[in-house]
Amino acid sequence: MLLVAKPVLGNAEKIALAEVIDSEWITQGDRVKAFERAFAERHGIGDAVAVSSCTAGLHLAMLALGIGPGDEVLVPSLTFVATANSALYAGATPVFVDIEGIDAPLMSLADAAAKCTTRTKALILVHYAGYLADLAAWRSFAERRGLLLVEDAAHAAGLVQNRHQSDAAVYSFYGNKNMTTAEGGMVAARDPGVLETIRLMRGHGMTATAQQRLTARAPAYDVTVLGYNYRMDELRAAIGLVQLERLAVWNERRARLARSYRSLLAARCPAVSVPFAEAWTSAHHILPIVLPEWADRQHVMERLRGDGIQTTVHYPPVHRLTLYRDRVPAGSLPITEAFAARELTLPLHPEMDEGQVETVVGALASALG
């Protein structure tokens, strides 16, 4: 089966893991610190905090920025459910915003403006599929309304352009991402004080880590805030350091494969569209396409699976999931719903080659007749 996503793991990761095991220190320690420094440097930021997942990072960002009960947070419905969940975790209410269009499925500035109320405190911007939203425009939008701007940058690892505009940005290292630590995430923030609060909260609010207590003359600690067990361990950080070294090469490989897809789809499947302009800045996390209105998506997916090609959908709209339909009814988001009904995600990962892209497009053309 040619998979939609596939982690690239090998001997270098095995060696890094063995070194951690031989060190006999496997929980948060020096490798986590080294991974934080390396990730921050690679993304052009001063500092970053490693956490157990992107979801945990979003939760901590909400809390550290002071978002809580009574607040509303603008979020896209075209995203993984964790984006909206993070607002609920903090006691706030997610307010779902439509996308700009079928060809640019990013959160709509116009609809966001229409959804603002006196309770709106923040917005979470998602770089869908790895395509960078217009951060300058959103920064201006947020400042005019006194809102906090948070990036769900789960799809955007490796993009250095998305810095210094938002109040916080959170990345994912889940197994299907551009770089992986199996589970894990990273948080950046404009305000060093906010970042230090996140660093404190990720480890139960304790003023000293286990490693610091081990080396201290008096192994005592205090708890100054309500914290959580959202730490990253040394094993994941060791993998992350290896993966980070190859991220730029992998992202360029993804970009070349995406260009091949666009060219072949235009030639062989002209009724299929690929969102975003080719020149759009992107980490090319996934390859979404939009099927023609007359196509039966389930039939197409079954035909491709029969040819040994996995496909999936990114995403079922969050506002139509049972939890949110019952808890925070959003009404209709017509563009999101239209896009989600026709979107299909094709395989894209660095271990693919152009011949496999041709195979996928050929099978898609056949499935569409």
**HSE-up of residue 369 (Cα within 13 Å, Cβ side):** 6
pTM (2 d.p.): 0.96
The whole domain housing 275 covers 247-368
Instruction: Return all residues near 293 (Cβ < 8 A) that are at least 6 apart.
Output: 342
Same domain, 144 and 89: yes
For 177-226, the pLDDT digits (tens) are: 999 999 999 999 999 999 999 999 999 999 888 888 777 766 788 899 99
pLDDT, mean of residues 13-42: 97
pLDDT, mean of residues 52-57: 98
* Domain final position from 205, 224, 243: 243
* 121: annotated active-site residue: no
* Active-site hit among 14, 115, 121, 177: 177
Q: What is the DSSP string of 246-312?
A: HHHHHHHHHHHHHHHHHHHHHHH-TT-B-SS-TTS-B----EEEE--TT--HHHHHHHHHHTTB--B
pLDDT, mean of residues 317-334: 95
Residue 24 lies in a domain: yes
Same domain, 214 and 79: yes
Same domain, 84 and 146: yes
pLDDT, mean of residues 10-34: 97
Whether 262 shows a pLDDT value over 90: the answer reads yes
Instruction: Please list the residues that pair with 185 across neighbouring strands.
Output: 51, 172
Residue 311, both tokens = 């496909």
For the chain, percent helix, then strand, then coil, each to nearest 5? 45, 15, 40
For 124-168, the pLDDT digits (tens) are: 999 999 999 999 999 999 999 999 999 999 999 999 865 668 999
Axis crossing angle, helix 354-368 with helix 234-268, rounded to the nearest 10: 50
Same domain, 262 and 224: no
Instruction: Please list the residues that pair with 254 across neighbouring strands.
Output: none
What does the pLDDT read at residue 207? Answer: 84
pLDDT, mean of residues 343-351: 98
Residue 7, both tokens = 């982690």
Distance CA 339, CA 316 (A): 10
Same domain, 190 and 232: yes
- Structural domains counted in the chain: 2
Mean pLDDT of the chain: 96
